[in-house]
A and B are shown apart, each in its own frame.
Chain A
Amino acid sequence: MPSRTAAGGRAAVVTGAGVGPATRRGAPHAPAWLAALPALVVIGLFSAYPVLVMVANSLGLGQPPADGGPTLEHYARALGSVTVREALLNSLYIAVGSVLITLCVAVPVVLRQADDDRAGRRGGAATDALLTLPIALPGIIIGFFAIVLTGRTGLLGLAWDGFSGLAYTFSGLLIAYLYFSLPRVLGPLRGAAATLDPSLTESARTLGASRPRVFLTVTLPLLLPAAIETSGTAIAVALGGYGTVATLSEGCGSCRSTLPTNSPPGTGSPPRPPSR
């Protein structure tokens, strides 16, 4: 594959030189994929290749002295470890749970936003800006928010005792990841809600269907593909979202065992190693 690309590239350069004036006049005769080449090289070298190397290493196909041929032993050992299994399960609960809850909140929100946009109501921009903001906040800040609000001296703890220390529990972590997932679900889902045709729900209503029925049989099925795609991505991002749990695990004993903090970098040197 690489050699073919290189040969093709050379051939293209030669033809390009041959039809120089034509190219200058705006009818590009060089193959169009040349435009994509720099990006494909970057992606290939810095995204696809490292992942492939990692997969190969995990299967024992790495450098001969360390790895002695194809094996599933690494996987067996990883999955055999109780710590890893627990961490994996905790991560899955948190990621899937937070995204599913986010989805239940996000569907009414995007429908309301789409309605407001169509009606041209004001105030939509402020809501929109506010709800998009968390996407630019690194996970660590969200973990910090959790400490400020529900840490041992947290603000919400003043209102109700049950809130103090919540940040360091499983439910606290779930809420923190809700904050993390919210913009990642809302954004794409909003696009899908904006393309819904309002005449469909209107005709269903005039034909006598109740609001819940219209929602269940018209709106929801139309949103479902986008919702599934969005939650898939959001779950993947939440699974790898390292920052929130990293902040919360500073000074917390019970909530460290989710997967991201549990995979030792081997190369990096985190300020404090995750405890087992």
Chain B
Amino acid sequence: MTRLITRLTCAFVVIPLLATLVAATSVDFSQGPWGGGLTLDWFAHAWPPLAPVIGRSLAVAALVVVLNLAVGGPLAWWVARHPSVLTRLTGYLVNVPLAVPGIALSVALVGTYPMLRPSGLLLVLGHLVFTLPFTLAALVPALADDELRTNESVARSLGAGAVRVLRTITVPACLVAVTQAVTMVFALSFGEFNVSFFVNPPATPTAPFALFDSYSTQRLELASAQSMIFVAFVAPVLTAIVLARRRAPGRTP
């Protein structure tokens, strides 16, 4: 029974992807699947305008990942190692963007900091605020692990410096959690639409924005091809998330 439901759920997720692939390879989709024959022309047409946009999205996502680690890493360390009323309050504060609809927060952001919008700085910061909860969710449990803390204090008592403990004990032990945080943040930032739609400088769109533009103005086949290109960029990242999660201690038998 549960197996059947799982299979059906998988089918529910995969059927739209296959259908979009069919639409993207049809000469004329309005005549039915592969109406007018099979073609890859739509992909050839879709790629040139999409390439610079995807490049920009990749750059934004990479920057957001780096900032997440630089800012969220120490925060996660503090929350994990010094639990108190303050850290619990901080936890709520970090999760504000999960509770406030993205659209509301982005309108608030643009209203409060209009001067940061043209440079794209506001977009990066908006993405950072939206992805921090996920970084924290991945890193805090890993950093709070008792065994890790014992290992660290043993290393320190043997005379290892803080940097060396971090480099040889803490980071290797948290590698799975860090991978999971990095891939998740990357995927979320790459596909983020709510914040991007309002905060994005209009002259320099990111990938979801360009897709939306195609959906409203282009042929269905071309828009399908662009969607499939987008999915092709996201899928490897997702696979990495899953592999990292399956390596996580306590999950695999």
Interface of A toward B, CB cutoff 8 Å? 23-28, 32-33, 35-36, 38-40, 42-44, 46-51, 53-54, 105, 108-109, 111-113, 115, 117-120, 124-125, 127-149, 153, 155, 158, 178-179, 182, 194, 233, 236-237, 239-243, 246-247, 250, 260, 263, 265-272
Contacts and interface: CB of A to CB of B under 8 A. Distances in A.
B10 A46 contact: no
B96 A51 contact: yes
B187 A136 contact: yes
Given A35-B75, A46-B113, A117-B253, 17 more contacts: A26-B156, A33-B82, A42-B132, A108-B5, A109-B6, A115-B2, A136-B190, A136-B237, A141-B230, A146-B16, A148-B220, A155-B23, A158-B32, A233-B98, A240-B104, A242-B194, A267-B107
Contacts of A124: 246
Contact of B98 (A137, A141, A236): A236
Interface residues on B, range: 35 or more
Contacts of A142: 16
Nearest to A124: B246
B100 A51 contact: yes
Nearest to B35: A153
Interface in B96-112: 96-112
Interface string B122-138: 00011011001000000
16 contacts: A28-B162, A33-B82, A42-B129, A42-B132, A46-B125, A46-B126, A47-B96, A119-B253, A130-B13, A149-B15, A153-B220, A237-B102, A246-B197, A263-B103, A267-B107, A269-B202
Given A26-B165, A35-B77, A237-B98, A112 B3 contact: yes
Contact of A263 (B1, B14, B104, B215): B104
A112 to B, nearest CB: 4
Contacts of A265: 107, 110, 198
Contact of A132 (B33, B101, B241, B250): B241
Interface in B56-101: 70-72, 74-75, 77-79, 81-82, 86, 90, 93-94, 96-101
A139 B49 CA distance: 21
A247 B212 contact: yes
B234 interface: yes
A240 B100 contact: yes
A243 B208 contact: yes
A240 B194 contact: yes
Interface in B218-246: 220, 223-224, 227, 230-231, 234-235, 237-239, 241-243, 245-246
B150 interface: no
B234 A129 contact: no
Contact of B71 (A39, A54, A148): A39
A28 to B, nearest CB: 7
B33 to A, nearest CB: 6
B120 interface: no
Interface string B10-30: 101111110110110000011
Contact of A136 (B2, B165, B227, B234): B234
A131 B165 contact: no
A24 B193 CA distance: 44
Nearest to A91: B101
B160 interface: yes
Contacts of A27: 156
Given A39-B132, A117-B253, A148 B20 contact: yes
Contacts of A129: 238-239, 242
Centre residue among A108, A132, A243 by max chain B CB count within 10 A: A243
B74 A113 contact: no
Nearest to A136: B187
B114 interface: yes
A271 B213 contact: yes
Given A39-B74, A270-B197, A125 B242 contact: yes
B37 to A, nearest CB: 17
B74 A155 contact: no
B99 A133 contact: no
A109 B238 contact: no
Contacts of B253: 117-120
B99 A236 contact: yes
Nearest to A259: B101
Given A26-B160, A43-B132, A108 B77 contact: no
A124 B125 CA distance: 36
A150 to B, nearest CB: 10
A141 B220 CA distance: 12
